[in-house]
Amino acid sequence: MTMLKAIKNWIEVRIGLDELVRDQLTEYRIPRNINLFYSLGTVAIAAFSIQVLTGIVLLVYYVPHPDHAFKSVQGIMMDVPYGWLFRQVHAVGSNLLVIVVALHMLSVFFMKSYAKPREMTWLVGFAMLLLTLTFCLSGYLLPWSQLSYWATTIVTNMPTAFPYIGDYLTEFQRGSSQVSGATLGRFFALHVMLLPALLVMLLGIHLFLIRRIGISRPPFGPGGQERVEWTQFHHESYPDGMPFYPHYIAKEVFMIMVYLSAMFFIIAFLPTLFSPADANIPADPFKTPAHIKPEWYFLAPYQMLRVIPSKFLGITLQMIAITVLFFWPFLDRKEERNILKRPVLLGGFIGALLVWIGLTIWGNF
């Protein structure tokens, strides 16, 4: 104990550890009407951390070459001690990460937490959502199975809808005219080098903005309708709020446990939910599987391109939708934060969500 106390005192003298804990945890106040949806950001960070840790383990044994990629993945599953568990956690976790990040963005939209002065927080968060989808796309090809090969072929073929530059964009993604070893090399480099660095950078900016500006008060419940004039910068504080630690941290830990429970439930009882039969067959560029389709999070845009006769019109509508969502904080100038009091916006929100779910289900058949 004397040694530990000496180490603590050494750190305390240099960085003021006790003051840091007080300012950032025990005496840091958040709104009393805060809800569990606010913890989805922390769940997403925990999920991403799990992906990094399991990905490092898989990286030790994975061989990014068309002749060896599939065999190396099968070797991880069959020969490496607990390799099957690490791979399942990574595969299931990638799908759950998309769900968590999407739910986080939906909850931010629903509670209008993107409003002034948090426009930059929304922009960075939306960029992180797009980056997460790119992460999943690049990692999906790496097992080099029939499923991953042809699903990647479909997704990377979408830019061909653009006139003049479509073919160039597709070939730039793939490194050749079709999905090949060059594509595998590019996607591997993206997945393990460029994308992690970009996501960590954006995550750092995102957390800085949240702590610098302060957590937004939910528009529902006591104090939800209070309006603050933002004519100059100030940290939004809640002197009458509840302590961040231990009250809110307990909620975050609970939600992380829910996430882990869902993950291990799928691994234990639904192991093939995200790994159908074609995921266990090596890639064959000369044999197209029946009913091939992209991964579920790309089914809606894929089905939209199938429904609309003009591929260019379909991809243009999707780009417009993404652009509108990205810049939504600057387009929504209404002062009312409670979406339940804005029937037009609420109807559009629910309608868009139902269309997306409907297209996803439709595209699965």
Reported as a single tens digit per residue, the pLDDT across 110-159 is 999 999 999 999 999 999 999 999 999 999 999 999 999 999 999 999 88
DSSP three-state, residue 242: strand
Residue 144 belongs to domain with CATH number: 1.20.810.10
Q: Is 191 within the bounds of a domain?
A: yes
Residue 258 has a pLDDT of 97
Residue 292 has a pLDDT of 81
Q: Is 59 within the bounds of a domain?
A: yes
Judge whether residue 19 has pLDDT over 80.
yes
Kindly report the average pLDDT of the chain as a whole number.
92
Q: Is 183 within the bounds of a domain?
A: yes
For residue 103 the two structure tokens come to 């739910």
Domain that holds residue 256: 35-215+240-290
Residue 160 has a pLDDT of 87
- From CA 83, how far away is CA 28, in angstroms rounded? 41
Contacts (Cβ under 8 Å, ≥6 apart) of 70: 143, 144, 145, 282, 283
pTM metric for this prediction:
0.93
Alpha helix ranges (H) inside 219-307? 249-269, 299-307
Is the Cβ–Cβ distance between 340 and 346 less than 8 Å?
Answer: yes
Closest by Cα among 260, 291, 297, 288 to 276 = 291
User: pLDDT, tens digit, for every residue of 210-230?
Assistant: 999 999 989 887 665 566 677
User: pLDDT, tens digit, for every residue of 69-113?
Assistant: 999 999 999 999 999 999 999 999 999 999 999 999 999 999 999
DSSP 8-state secondary structure symbol assigned to residue 243: E
Q: Is 205 within the bounds of a domain?
A: yes
Judge whether residue 231 has pLDDT over 80.
no
Q: Is 327 within the bounds of a domain?
A: no
Residue 125 has a pLDDT of 97
Residue 227 has a pLDDT of 62
Mean pLDDT is highest, among 13-27, 72-86, 231-245, for 72-86
Is the Cβ–Cβ distance between 89 and 53 less than 8 Å?
Answer: no
How many structural domains are present in the chain?
1
Mean pLDDT of 8-29: 87
Judge whether residue 352 has pLDDT over 90.
yes
Backbone φ and ψ for 189, nearest 5 degrees, come out as: -65, -40
Is the Cβ–Cβ distance between 348 and 334 less than 8 Å?
Answer: no
User: pLDDT, tens digit, for every residue of 295-329?
Assistant: 999 999 999 989 998 889 999 999 999 999 999 99
Q: Is 156 within the bounds of a domain?
A: yes
Q: Is 316 within the bounds of a domain?
A: no
Mean pLDDT of 7-32: 87
Residue 135 has a pLDDT of 95
Q: Is 268 within the bounds of a domain?
A: yes
Judge whether residue 291 has pLDDT over 80.
no
